[in-house]
Each structure stands twice: as C-alpha cells, then as structure tokens.
C-alpha cells in the first residue's frame, strides 16, 4: 500500500512547513510556508550563508535604518530559493510588530511584493502571511483587492476564520497543535485521539462552514503536534506539515481514509457576520483564541528580534 503521505497527496495539497531547502527537496511539497521562527532556524544552515551576506550588503547600502529592510531582503532571498524547488507558492510573513497597524501592514506587504518582483518572482507565486487580528484581516482585504494574495495566520478561533473569508482572504492557517496545547494546559485531557482533538474539531468546523457558504478561501491546517491530527484532517484543502511529521507519514503504509469532504459538511452552521465591535467582543470571550493569538505574535516578534540581532552581529 502507498505511504500515508502519498495517500494524503491524493486528497489534500501538501505544503512544507519549513525553510530547510533539503527537506523541501526530499518531500516535494506543492507549496512551502515560512515565518520568523523558521527563518531563524534556516539562517543557521550553511546553504543560506551567502544569502545572508548578500542581504546585509544590499540593505546597508540604503542607510542607517537597514535592519528591517535586511529582514525583508533575506525573506525574499530564501523565498526565491524555495520557489526554485516547489512548483507552487511560498508564504512570507510580514513583520509581526505591525499586527495592529493596517496601513503599515499594507505598505510592508506591497514592499515585499516589489522585492519579489525585482527578483523575478511574479506575485501569483507568493502569499503574504499576516496575523489574524482585526487590523490584519482588514489589511488582507485591501491587499486582496489590489491583486496581492494573503495567508491569514495565527488563526485560533471561528470568528477569525469567518471574518477572514468575508474579507476575501486567499487562504487561512488555523493552528491545530497550539489549540491542543492550550486545552492540555487549561484542564483538558493530556491525550486526545485525532477525531476528538480540539484543534482538529476547530478546523473541521471552519472547513464545513466555508463549504456550506461557498467561500473560496482555502483552509490550510497548520502547527501539528502528531500524525494523528493530520490523518484526522485528510481531505482538507491544504495541510502544512513539518519535515519530522512528513517523514513519519512517509514511513507509515497503513490505510488513510478521507475525513473531510466538501459534499458532506453535516448540519448547517448558523453564524451571523457582524462588525468590528462584535469581532473584538467574541475574541475577548474566547480565552483560548485571545491568549494563543497574543502569544503567537509575541513569539514571532521575539524570533524576529533574535534574527535581527544575528544579522547585526554578522554585519560588523
């Protein structure tokens, strides 16, 4: 029997959740995703040292405040390397420190697109990753209108997903494993089967809602803790998976039945889309989504700062 990874490819677009070019070559995903944490890991790999040096040199020539530009230059350089290997798209994160500033997010996003275009990469091969705050969703809405497609990330709650689809986002990344982490740390069970995992159940609800409402926004499950979560979401539009879990799925030759199907979405999900105040109140009422969104932004910023420090020290 084919491996579970090969079976998964028959019903779901497999995306690599890594900046490691060798891992991407090995598992041959359609797309790849990056973020500040993954870029920090990738920056230590020998393969990328020449890109770091080139990014520093190019950015320092532009003036004293060169570090933010260097970060974007490096993100684009690594993204371009990835696009030489994958046939689809790469997701590149906008600085998480801009997560609560709509206009700054739009400006930074357009700058990233221009850098990619200068490097010979068309905008239809990139997705801009933006945190799913109210301001981030509004930024994605405007970018989508201008033809720039977005990946709304750090998504933990149904309200974020509904607002993202209503805004016309190309893709969302609900974080399965981090939802599980919260429940385990806040009185939930310590061991969940895949079909009862709270992160899995969240993605299934979002997927069914999107199909019922005929939204075009793609659901891409992310942040997995074990293969069982991935198997429980087989059939989802896309799944972005770490190299370790890709290896486990590749080595397993058991049967992988389809779990999500656009023609079988269960009972109608009744939900009323409302405005900013309702969104903020519902998020405030959802402790898990609020806490994990805030934590995710803090962690991305922390890794961004570490990478900037590394670039600064290498520039001296």
CATH number at residue 262: 3.20.20.70
Residue-level pLDDT at 175 = 98
Residue 63 has pLDDT above 80, yes or no: no
pLDDT digits (tens, 9 = 90+) for 273-306: 999 999 999 999 999 999 999 999 999 999 999 9
User: To the nearest whole number, what is the mean pLDDT of the chain?
Assistant: 95
Residue-level pLDDT at 34 = 87
Residue-level pLDDT at 36 = 86
- HEC-encoded secondary structure of the chain: CCCHHHHHHCCCEEEEECCCHHHHHHHCCCEEECCHHHHHHHCCCHHHHHHHHHHHHHHHCCCCCCHHHHHHHHHHHHHHHHHCCCCCCEEEECCHHHCCCHHHHHHHHHHHHHHHHHCCCCHHHEEEEEECCHHHHHHHHHHHHCCCCEEEEEECCHHHHHHHHHCCCCEEEEEHHHHHHHHHHCCCCCCCCHHHCHHHHHHHHHHHHHHHHCCCCEEEEECCCCHHHHHCCCCCCEEEECHHHHHHHHHCCCCCCCCCECCECCCCCCCCCCCHHHHHHHHHHCHHHHHHHHHHHHHHHHHHHHHHHHHHHHHC
Residue-level pLDDT at 47 = 84
Let me know: does 108 contact 136? Beta carbons within 8 Å.
no
Encoded tokens for 83: 């696009």
Residue-level pLDDT at 150 = 98
- Where does the pLDDT of residue 309 fall: very low under 50, low under 70, confident under 90, or very high at 90 and above? very high
The range of the structural domain enclosing residue 121 comes to: 4-315
Residue-level pLDDT at 161 = 98
129 is catalytic: yes
Burial of 36 (0-12, 13-18, 19+ CB in 10 A): buried
**Maximum CA pair distance of the chain?**
61
Q: Residue 117 half-sphere exposure, CB side, CA atoms within 13 Å?
A: 9
Residue-level pLDDT at 195 = 87
- Give the mean model confidence (pLDDT) for residues 152-181: 98
> Annotated catalytic residue: which of 129, 204, 211, 292?
129
- pTM for this entry: 0.95
The structural domain count of the chain equals 1
Residue-level pLDDT at 194 = 86
Q: Residue 244 half-sphere exposure, CB side, CA atoms within 13 Å?
A: 5
pLDDT digits (tens, 9 = 90+) for 217-250: 999 999 999 999 999 999 999 999 999 999 999 9
Least confident piece of the model among 45-54, 70-79, 115-124, 244-253: 45-54
- Give the mean model confidence (pLDDT) for residues 167-188: 96
- Give the mean model confidence (pLDDT) for residues 125-142: 98
Residue-level pLDDT at 183 = 97
pLDDT digits (tens, 9 = 90+) for 22-61: 999 999 999 999 888 888 888 888 888 999 899 999 998 8
- Where does the pLDDT of residue 264 fall: very low under 50, low under 70, confident under 90, or very high at 90 and above? very high
- Where does the pLDDT of residue 89 fall: very low under 50, low under 70, confident under 90, or very high at 90 and above? very high
Task: Tell me which of 34 and 124 has the higher pLDDT.
Answer: 124
**Tokens 């020290």 belong to residue:** 313
Residue-level pLDDT at 65 = 84
Residue-level pLDDT at 101 = 98
């Amino acid at each position: 029997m084919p491996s579970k990874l090969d079976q998964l490819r028959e019903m779901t677009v497999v995306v690599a959740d890594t900046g490691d070019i060798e891992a991407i070559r090995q598992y041959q995903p359609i797309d790849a995703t990056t973020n500040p944490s993954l870029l920090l890991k990738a920056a230590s790999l020998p393969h990328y040292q020449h890109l770091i040096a080139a990014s520093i040199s190019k950015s320092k020539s532009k003036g004293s405040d060169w570090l933010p530009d260097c970060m974007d230059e490096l993100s684009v350089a690594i993204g371009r390397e990835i696009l030489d290997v994958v046939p689809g798209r790469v997701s590149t994160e906008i600085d998480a420190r801009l997560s609560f500033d709509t206009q700054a997010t739009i400006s930074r996003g357009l700058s990233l697109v221009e850098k990619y275009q200068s490097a010979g990469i068309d905008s239809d091969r990139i997705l801009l990753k933006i945190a799913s705050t109210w301001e981030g969703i509004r930024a994605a809405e405007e970018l989508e209108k201008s033809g720039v497609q977005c990946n709304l990330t750090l998504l933990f709650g149904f309200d974020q997903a509904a607002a993202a689809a209503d805004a016309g986002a190309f893709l969302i990344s609900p974080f399965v494993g981090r939802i599980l982490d919260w429940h385990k740390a806040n009185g939930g069970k310590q061991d969940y089967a895949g079909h009862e995992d709270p992160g899995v159940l969240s993605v299934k609800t979002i997927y069914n809602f999107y199909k019922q409402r005929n939204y075009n926004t793609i659901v891409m499950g992310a942040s997995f803790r074990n293969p069982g979560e991935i198997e429980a979401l087989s059939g989802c539009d896309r799944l972005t998976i770490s190299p370790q879990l890709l290896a486990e799925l590749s080595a397993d030759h058991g049967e992988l039945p389809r779990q999500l199907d656009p023609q079988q979405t269960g009972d109608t999900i009744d939900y009323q889309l409302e405005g900013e105040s309702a969104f903020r109140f519902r998020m405030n009422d959802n402790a898990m989504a609020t806490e994990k969104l805030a934590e995710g932004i803090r962690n991305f910023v922390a890794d961004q700062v570490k990478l900037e420090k590394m670039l600064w020290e290498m520039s001296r």
